[in-house]
Copies of this chain bind each other. A is one copy, B any other.
């Protein structure tokens, strides 16, 4: 099956007046993310489910993907908040489910967690060797049975500039 890992678009900077949870996409971030979503749709990329961090900038990114018909299913999970533990997600969300071989799932969240999760799926440990830009995308193939840790294969990693 395919697992797509997508970082939220450009968001408001950290500032004392706004909580970390509430930071939202800027106008530029929204426009760029919409362009990416349109391009993904033209490339026939589709997800059976989008799983997103509940933080506003991630949820807005996921909603843009939904609006561009990349999926019809959106689910929120605290596992995808910054610092979320992939092993807890695998245990509590991934393992209890059946994943048909053709399933395609997108995870929308934050750095550095997303590239750390990817590295754990690829080669079982974090080496900080992947660069995932805002609105960037990673594509993995993952076995449908057994633990995916150290068993995924990377077929795509792109910064948004090469998709626009």
Which residues on A are within 8 Å of B, measured CB to CB? Answer: 43, 122-123, 127-131, 133, 141, 152-159, 161-163
Contacts and interface: CB of A to CB of B under 8 A. Distances in A.
A129 B141 CA distance: 10
A4 to B, nearest CB: 12
A127 B131 contact: no
29 contacts: A43-B161, A43-B162, A122-B127, A122-B129, A123-B123, A123-B127, A123-B129, A128-B153, A129-B152, A129-B153, A129-B154, A130-B153, A130-B154, A131-B153, A131-B154, A131-B155, A133-B155, A154-B157, A155-B157, A155-B159, A156-B157, A156-B158, A156-B159, A156-B162, A157-B157, A157-B158, A158-B158, A158-B162, A162-B163
Contacts of A152: 129
Given A130-B153, A131-B153, A156-B158, 14 more contacts: A122-B127, A123-B129, A129-B152, A129-B153, A131-B141, A131-B155, A133-B155, A155-B157, A155-B159, A156-B157, A156-B162, A157-B157, A158-B158, A162-B163
Nearest to A124: B127
A56 to B, nearest CB: 27
A127 B123 CA distance: 7
Contacts of A131: 141, 153-155
A122 B155 CA distance: 15
Contacts of A157: 154-158
**Max count, chain B CB within 10 A of own CB: residue among A43, A133, A141:** A43
A52 to B, nearest CB: 22
